[in-house]
Amino acid sequence: MIYLDHNATTPMHPEVLTAMLPYMRGPCGNPASVHHAGRAARQGMDQARRQVASLIGVHDSLVCFTSGATEANNLAISGVGGMQKQPGHAITSRTEHPSVLEAFGVLQQQGHRVTFLDCDPQGLIAPESLQRHLTPDTFLVSIMHANNETGLIQPLAPLAALCREQGVLFHTDIVQSIGRLPWDKEAIAADLITLSSHKLGGPMGVGALVMDRSLALTPMIIGGGQERGRRAGTPNVAGIVGFGAAADWLNKHRQETVASMTRLRAFLETGLSEKIPGLVIFSHNAPRIANTTLLGIDGLHGETLVMNLDLAGIAVSSGSACASGKGEGSHVLAAMGVPKSLALSAIRLSIGWNTQVQQLERFIHQFAHIVARLQGGATVR
């Protein structure tokens, strides 16, 4: 199989599995236990917490482990909402991940006012738009760093600065950006940051919310004192250790990984554009993370393209994995003003740490022939 769906999940690094195996084979104690097995589990978690914190340059005490990015996004939004003594105002964008959009919907149900910011045709949020909508009772702004469908990089620094000036908490989901472009903690200065293990080459089912020490979020899961009271429940020790190992690997290899992805994506997009007339690359004229291409061909259907590629042994997606199979157009492309017929043709190609140029050569050849066949026998250049 040629695997080009790393934005959905990326295969684990061999080093990650090696780090996890001792905690999977056992004996692995509960990290809350004081005996030797419990202390060993706690030590594994403590090391992982330091490794994840180091990845984005924060103190390890700020890292709260969760079951994944969806829970971390929910905890950030509902936790800040729960801190409010009366209904207030929160802001996000129309192009966010569903775990953010639906959490803001819950804020609305709880009586808070919510503003969903519009974007330009590339998907960018103008700082002026955010500034216009900030009000004295705005308590939270949530804008993702890199879009999971288009790969567009949102210019967070001016958005975060506006929030800081107004005393508004700023949350960002960096699930797709970390490891795919340089991370500038000082420029972004977010109060809450969402991370995911399985987008870094770690195991599924583990994520983290990094938050300022001063925040006393209302927890979503109660019944224990784990994670400093921010998230109750016995932790997934092996998964957390794997998350830490993936973060450590990425910290050591980030520069070369980003450089390789950048070269491979340029090769991929040039080859596709030369062979397929009418190909559209969404957000092409805006900064994008190094590994992501969302493309469309008007008149074809994305799900049909995905199935044909699957039969050829190539794994891609028709957009966000969280929305796959719904048969609806992308809400991100709709927010960007993309016509529905073109939006429905979209497929997402995302490369990763183990992608090879030979795989992309085969993909370009196969995809061009599939498109030509579906279009009724058009000649492939």
Catalytic residues: 322
HSE at residue 92, side-chain half, CA atoms within 13 A, is 26
DSSP state for residue 154 in the 8-state scheme: P
Beta-strand runs (E) in the chain: 2-3, 63-66, 89-93, 113-117, 138-142, 169-173, 192-196, 207-211, 280-281, 292-296, 314-315, 347-350
Burial class (CB in 10 A: 0-12, 13-18, 19+), 44: buried
Question: SS in 3 state form for 32-59?
Answer: CCCCHHHHHHHHHHHHHHHHHHHHHCCC
Handedness of CA 304, 310, 311, 313 (dihedral sign): positive
Neighbours of 180 (CB within 10 A): 30
Tracing tokens 């969404």 back to the chain, one arrives at 282
Collapse the DSSP code of 213 into the 3-class scheme (helix H, G, I; strand E, B; otherwise coil) and give the result: coil
Tokens of 284: 């092409």
State the DSSP string of 292-348. Answer: EEEEE-TTS-HHHHHHHHHHTTEE-BSS-TTTTTS----HHHHHTT--HHHHTT-EE
SS3 content of the chain, % helix, strand, coil (to 5): 45, 15, 40
